[in-house]
Amino acid sequence: MAEKRIGVIMHGVTGRMGANQHLARSILEIRRQGGVALKNGVRVMPDPILVGRNAGKLEHLARAHGLERWTTDLDAALGDRNDSIFFDAASTQLRPKILKKAIDAGKHVYCEKPVATTLAAALDLYRAVRRSGVKHGVVQDKLWLPGLLKLKMLGDSGFFGRILSVRGEFGYWVFEGDLQPAQRPSWNYRKEDGGGIILDMLCHWRYVLDNLFGDVKAVSCLGAQHIAERWDENGKKYRATADDAAYATFQLDGGIIAHINSSWCVRVRRDDLLTLQVDGTHGSAVAGLRRCFTQAHVNTPKPVWNPDLPQTLDFFGGWQEVPDNLSWDNAFKAQWELFLKYVAGEGDFQWGLLEGVKGVQLAELARKSWTQRRWVDVPAFKA
């Protein structure tokens, strides 16, 4: 079987997300399985080169995975015509500038989100990639999570009837760093470094809501900075300046109301770190990252409000789990495979930079809503 090599410049993958999800569980796993099969029988084989500023970290990561190609010279990497894809998972603040360099070098670009810290910068980047004609994509990983794929299947089947509302809970307690190390990087909590949960998570909620339930038409958001002081990776106390919680309500196309709480200051007592409850006229469902439970209209219990007596109904017992009739791959890897096929000339890729622009737009409008304490309309973008 013929093999088609595609060189992939992987920038900023020494961090947790880049190293684990994009390198180890996506690109290297694709290599282990023998590449990605095209319809014509050719297998696309990604060939990564690791690029970053810290030579020690790059060399350690490369050795750990048996890779020979790494460099701290970004310009040299972009100048190599044998590598056609540039991927970025580094700093959000630097992403537009770095992606523009890759675009100017004629590379197809694929990147993490947010694609920028402001809507103006995101739009400028999108215009640049449109002018260049290179192929482009933005990571939208949650669309390939088993729990959300089950929700989509339920919606496509008509299970919900008319969807009324979506309720989401996301988050967990991120330790401050004094008594035990924080499990998220310190820059997440500094606004001046591009931190903040509104920018981080509303980019996710934009593509989840748009793709599963209906286009976002308006937003009302209350942000919060609950924890004022934290300790960084070196044990040094610093002042947190970014929002660490967001309580957002969305009006969707078709009259659907969605509300999602996002917080790094919440202790979890639910099925998963992310749960989405969808209520419709014919049935409801609750999904986590992998599991999904349903309750049909005809199986819905009939509670009666009486606070003077103990509750006799088991509200967890009346739900059925959606079975794992299908097998699902790693969410990041699934989208990587589609992008590699797209670059190789097979299929379309609907998750381009415009989708990244929409995420930044929603985050910016949510901050505006918080500042002005009002509902804000979300204008539609056209490619």
Tens of pLDDT, residue by residue over 108-119, are 999 999 999 999
Radius of gyration in angstroms for the set of CA atoms belonging to the chain, rounded to a whole number: 22
Quick one: which of 158, 161, 168 has its CA closest to 258?
168
**What pLDDT score was predicted for residue 237?**
97
pLDDT tens for 289-348 read 999 999 999 999 999 999 999 999 999 999 999 999 999 999 999 999 999 999 999 999
Using the predicted structure, report yes or no on whether residue 1 has a pLDDT greater than 90. Answer: no
Please indicate, yes or no, whether residues 63 and 164 belong to a single structural domain of this protein: no
CA 178 to chain CA mean position, Å: 29
Q: What is the mean pLDDT of residues 5-31?
A: 96
Q: What is the mean pLDDT of residues 366-381?
A: 96
Please indicate, yes or no, whether residues 187 and 123 belong to a single structural domain of this protein: no
CB 239 within 8 A of CB 147: no
* Cβ-based burial of 126 (10 A; exposed 0-12, middle 13-18, buried ≥19): buried
Residue 381 lies in a domain: no
Residue 370 lies in a domain: no
- Residue 179 sits at the vertex; the CA angle it makes with 177 and 184, to the nearest 5 degrees, is 25
Peptide bond into 114 cis (omega under 30): yes
**What pLDDT score was predicted for residue 280?**
98
How many whole angstroms separate alpha carbon 139 and alpha carbon 110? Answer: 7
**What pLDDT score was predicted for residue 353?**
97
Buried b (16+ CB within 10 A) or exposed e, 84-103: bbbbbbbebbebbebbbebb
**What pLDDT score was predicted for residue 381?**
80
pLDDT tens for 76-132 read 999 999 999 999 999 899 999 999 999 999 999 999 999 999 999 999 999 999 999
**What pLDDT score was predicted for residue 120?**
96
**What pLDDT score was predicted for residue 300?**
95
Please indicate, yes or no, whether residues 120 and 8 belong to a single structural domain of this protein: yes
Please indicate, yes or no, whether residues 247 and 290 belong to a single structural domain of this protein: yes
Please indicate, yes or no, whether residues 116 and 212 belong to a single structural domain of this protein: no
**What pLDDT score was predicted for residue 305?**
92
Please indicate, yes or no, whether residues 283 and 158 belong to a single structural domain of this protein: yes
For residue 311, give the CATH number of its domain: 3.30.360.10
How many whole angstroms separate alpha carbon 144 and alpha carbon 374? Answer: 33
**What pLDDT score was predicted for residue 9?**
98
Number of independent structural domains in the chain: 2
Please indicate, yes or no, whether residues 20 and 8 belong to a single structural domain of this protein: yes
41, containing H or E segment: none
Residue 299: phi and psi, rounded to 5, are -105, 10
Strands 229-231 and 376-377, how do they pair? unpaired
236, containing H or E segment: none
How many whole angstroms separate alpha carbon 117 and alpha carbon 93? Answer: 6
**What pLDDT score was predicted for residue 69?**
98
CB 136 within 8 A of CB 106: no
- Residue 260 sits at the vertex; the CA angle it makes with 256 and 261, to the nearest 5 degrees, is 160
Q: Which domain holds residue 343?
A: 3-141+331-351
62, containing H or E segment: helix 55-64
Q: What is the mean pLDDT of residues 15-27?
A: 96
**What pLDDT score was predicted for residue 383?**
56
Q: Two tokens at 269?
A: 């007592």
Q: What is the mean pLDDT of residues 254-260?
A: 97
Residue 360 lies in a domain: no
Q: What is the mean pLDDT of residues 172-186?
A: 96
pLDDT tens for 128-158 read 999 999 999 999 999 999 999 999 999 999 9
Residue 345: DSSP 8-state: T
